[in-house]
Amino acid sequence: MTTTTVSLQSSFRRNAPRLAQPIGRAVAHLVASVAAWMRPRQESPAEAASRLRSLANRYEGRQPGFAADLRAAADRHLADSER
C-alpha cells in the first residue's frame, strides 16, 4: 500500500475581478429595462369598454341576454370613469 500526498500552494482571491461590478450593473440595468418593456400597460376606460363590446358581439347570436349584459357593463364602466 502506498500513499501519495499532494500539497497545493495558492492564495484565495478576496475580491471580484475588476470588470465584474460594471458588467453586473449593466446586466441588471438590461434586465430591468426588458422587464419594464414587457409589463402590460394600463387599459383606458374606453379601451376596456370597446373590448367588452367586442366580446358582446361574439355572444350576440347564441346568448343575446348575456351580450346585452356585457354592453350594459361597458356603458356603466364608461359612465363610472367619467365621474
> Residue 12, Cβ neighbours under 10 Å: how many?
4
Coil, strand, or helix at residue 52?
Answer: helix
- Whether 66 has a pLDDT exceeding 90, the answer reads yes
On the 0-12 / 13-18 / 19+ scale of CB atoms within 10 A, 74 is buried
Q: What is the pLDDT of residues 13-55, one digit of tens each?
A: 777 788 899 999 999 999 999 999 999 888 888 899 999 999 9
* 78 Cβ contact partners less than 8 Å away, ≥ 6 residues apart: 45, 46, 49
On the 0-12 / 13-18 / 19+ scale of CB atoms within 10 A, 77 is middle
Average pLDDT over residues 66-73: 93
Q: What is the pLDDT of residue 71?
A: 93
Domain ranges of the chain: 45-82
Q: pTM higher than 0.85, yes or no?
A: no
Amino acid at 26: A
Q: What is the pLDDT of residue 33?
A: 95
Q: What is the pLDDT of residue 15?
A: 79
